[in-house]
Amino acid sequence: MVNVVGLTIESAGPDSKLGDLCRILPETEGAKPIMAEVVGFRDKKTLLMPYDSVDGIGLGCVVENTGDPLTVTVSEKLLGKTVNGLGIPIDGDTITGVAYPVEAAPPDPMSRAIIDQVLPLGVKAVDGMITVGKGQRIGIFAGSGVGKSTLMNRLVGEKISIITSKSQTTRHRIKGIVNEPDFQIVFSDTPGVVKPSYKMQECMLEFSKSALVDADIILYVTDVVEDIRKNADFIEKVNHMKAPVLLVINKIDLTDQQKLEALFENWKTLIPRAEIFPISATENFNVDNLYRRILELLPEGEPYFPKDDLTDLPARFFVNEIIREKILLNYDREIPYSVQVEVEEFQEDNKRINIMAVIYVERESQKGIIIGHQGAALKKVGTEARQDIEQFFGKNVFLSLYVKVQKDWRNKDQDLKKFGYVQ
């Protein structure tokens, strides 16, 4: 072993491949080996992520490759057990049974059985907050910058997704939940469909693909100026889905009747079975008719989420997004797209929320631009973000922002996993 940086361990070997499970042998006599997973390679060195505490690990420690990925032994004896990160019961009990790798290809979504009832798991936190069973899920898909986030916020009735004029504002799959006495709708706002230029965009496209498979109704959103053939590959996937397709043409207030009719004909050619709805999300034109058609198409089933939920995402996520929205609004060119925001401290009491967040950039020059002269630019972002966060939570907020450089994070698997782009 040659280097330790945070939780990442660099080793001069052994021969390995991604996902292999390795043993790191501490030099302390009698110390147990520390298990670690191969997560990457750099400069002919192997990058490892430990599953255990790194206490006792130092330069010169021997690293051995088991030759296999992490597996978990599964049997009925595992029921009721609490396990550690390696899948081993913390009570010291030995489980015998069938070993399953933790990384495996997902089942074919087209051949899965239809879920038609609630499955109680006996875990209150799961049964109450993320009920397993049949739900009504609607995926919202579109190219970048056509207004799908505006539409979802309009349908949900709350600002769930951040909105800016810049493309690729949405980076994750964001669920907005509408609850009424006799129905529940789960809208999924997905990243704009683009041809990936770096690994983060590849992850964003995977979010859209996964939502496409899950959707009971597909809303494909376009606008009056988008090149209708730029997302031909994704449109082809839409055409192969069995779920009903509602094609939404947004921003019709920016065109005339003749051009709109031409768009109708062109889209009928690309997605023949789609029902077409011309709307203006910002002006709330024809959104009600779209909403009524969604209700007509919803399959029957039990609610997927508790009735008072607006989304399935934690509070920290929305703090990240609000700060990133202000960066998108206050900076130009490449800067907003090189930024990742992470909340590192979130402490809440009855009167105030204390938040400490880090803004990651890819280069040192970008750090200077984010901060600005005598910190003026960063202060402006912090003030605007704090005001929106206070409105979101209904409490006073103390917000501290810091800027760090994480070189080329958009192309590094480890960073993308850390920031939630790789599941």
What share of the chain in percent tops pLDDT 90? Answer: 13
Q: Which residues pair with 104 in a beta bridge?
A: none
The SS3 call for residue 353 is strand
Distance CA 43, CA 60 (A): 18
The pLDDT tens digits of the residues spanning 136-158 come to 454 555 554 556 566 656 655 55
The pLDDT tens digits of the residues spanning 329-362 come to 888 877 878 888 998 898 988 889 999 999 999 9
What is the predicted pLDDT for the residue at 121? 47
Instruction: Please report the domains of the chain, with CATH numbers, ordered by start residue.
Output: 3-69 (2.40.10.170), 128-297 (3.40.50.300), 315-418 (3.30.300.20)
**Is residue 401 pLDDT above 90, yes or no?**
yes
The pLDDT tens digits of the residues spanning 15-60 come to 888 888 999 988 777 788 888 888 888 888 898 888 877 777 888 8
Q: Mark residue 388 as left, alpha or beta (left: phi above 0; alpha: psi -120 to 50; beta: remaining).
A: alpha
Contacts 24+ apart (CB under 8 A), 408-415: 408/362, 409/340, 409/360, 409/362, 410/198, 410/199, 410/200, 410/338, 410/362, 411/198, 411/199, 411/200, 412/40, 412/199, 413/39, 413/40, 413/199, 414/8, 414/39, 414/40, 414/47, 414/49
* CB count in 10 Å sphere of residue 284: 10
What is the β-pairing status of strands 98-101 and 137-142?
Answer: unpaired
300: its two tokens: 């029957």
Mean pLDDT value across residues 109-129: 57
143 and 294 in contact (C-beta within 8 Å)?
Answer: no
Q: Mark residue 356 as left, alpha or beta (left: phi above 0; alpha: psi -120 to 50; beta: remaining).
A: beta
φ, ψ (nearest 5 deg) of residue 218: -105, 120
96 and 259 in contact (C-beta within 8 Å)?
Answer: no
The SS3 call for residue 164 is coil
What is the predicted pLDDT for the residue at 219? 85
Distance CA 119, CA 117 (A): 6
Distance CA 5, CA 353 (A): 31
Which strands, in side-by-side order, build the sheet including 20-25? 3-5, 8-11, 45-50, 34-42, 20-25, 62-69
What is the predicted pLDDT for the residue at 123? 46
What is the predicted pLDDT for the residue at 168? 59
Distance CA 100, CA 105 (A): 12
65 and 16 in contact (C-beta within 8 Å)?
Answer: yes
Confidence of residue 65 (pLDDT cuts 50, 70, 90): very high
Amino acid at 32: K
**Is residue 309 pLDDT above 60, yes or no?**
yes
State the burial class of residue 417 (Cβ atoms within 10 Å of its Cβ: 0-12, 13-18, 19+).
middle
What is the β-pairing status of strands 45-50 and 34-42?
Answer: antiparallel
What is the predicted pLDDT for the residue at 126? 46
* DSSP codes joined into one string, 60-111: T-EEEEEEEE-EEEESGGGTT--B-TTS-BTT-PPP-SEEEESS-PPP-GGG
Distance CA 410, CA 318 (A): 20
Confidence of residue 396 (pLDDT cuts 50, 70, 90): very high
What is the predicted pLDDT for the residue at 150? 63
Instruction: Give the single-character DSSP code of 373.
Output: G
Rg of the chain over Cα atoms, rounded to whole angstroms, equals 24
Among 23-27, 209-213, 231-235, 253-257, name the one with the lowest average pLDDT: 209-213
